[in-house]
Amino acid sequence: MHKPGNRLTNLDTCAATWLAALVIVLISGCAPNKLRPEVASDAAFGQSTNGLANDAGNCKTLIALPASPTADRLSADRIRLMSWNVQKESGRGWLGDFERLASNQDLVLLQEAAADSYALNNQNGARYWSFARGYQSSTAMTGVMTLSSSKSLAQCHLREQEPWLRSDKATDITEYALTNTEQTLAVVNIHAINFTLGLAAFNEQLAQIANAIEDHEGPVILSGDLNTWRGGRQKLVDALATDLDLVSLTFNDDRRTTFFGKHVDHIYVRGLKVLDARTPVVESSDHNPIIVTLSLI
């Protein structure tokens, strides 16, 4: 496989100027919910699975383990999924939107979810969860959270540091058994590196994903806020998709959020067909969610 780490592009000068201004806004912006006192590290999170990995190599090993015949299983005929950057759960009305949109989903992939999230404690039918921490201060923690109606076989919590802010961006990889097949589903929930003067850190985050799931032969979902607000970033994601045989989902009425005229939220799949796809508009976050129903090919 040709690693995405070999595909760098030059920084757009205009984008760098915009980033510098935006970093100031971000640092002075709203902080996420305060942590419960007992929440201190990744060890506080997660459900019982085949195991928990914190690096790509161990993740690859975990995903290769066979599923138990008695494992919880997602329906291979209908996998309902929502992916949404919830803007640190700070937007007015986000709870109502979450309750309305997350109801009856089999998989809910959140970015910028708070560690003591309402979503974690009131999961609208999603009985299991995995949380990979990203941004952390002395009083707050946010990251990527995957809620599911079935227990995962494995969880992988990967991180890459934002070069400017020195905070982490997280990737959560979970694996699920499926009905009527020995194949398993790998689900990648990512909040991509954003504030950089180049693409090296962004590229390394994608390389971690490639390394973790390159040997997985079953279906794959890769989704989240990929921060593809410029062409060079999108080309790197396209290269990753090519290497992993992933296809980008399209939408008839595409209401996904754009920055600099480019979509930043995506869903890529392999071995799955689309039964339904929509992008509802919300005012409770600066990102509109993506909701799809998928079926095993």
Q: What is the pLDDT of residues 197-233, one digit of tens each?
A: 789 999 999 999 999 999 999 999 999 999 999 999 9
Domain count of the chain?
A: 1
pTM above 0.95, yes or no: no
Q: Cβ–Cβ contacts within 10 Å for residue 282, how many?
A: 22
In a domain, 2, yes or no: no
pLDDT bucket at 151, cuts 50 / 70 / 90: very high
Q: What is the DSSP string of 268-289?
A: EEESEEEEEEE----SSSSS--
Residue 50 pLDDT greater than 90, yes or no:
no
Cα–Cα dist 168/285, whole Å: 21
In a domain, 1, yes or no: no
In a domain, 282, yes or no: yes
- For range 222-250, the mean pLDDT: 97
CATH number at residue 183: 3.60.10.10
Residue 292 confidence (pLDDT): 98
In a domain, 184, yes or no: yes
Residue 116 confidence (pLDDT): 75
Q: What is the pLDDT of residues 177-197, one digit of tens each?
A: 999 999 999 999 999 999 887
Domain encompassing residue 98: 7-296
Residue 115 CA neighbour count, 13 Å, CB half: 26
Percentage of the chain modeled with pLDDT above 70: 79
Distance of CA 26 to the CA centre of its chain: 20
For 232, the token pair is 């060079």
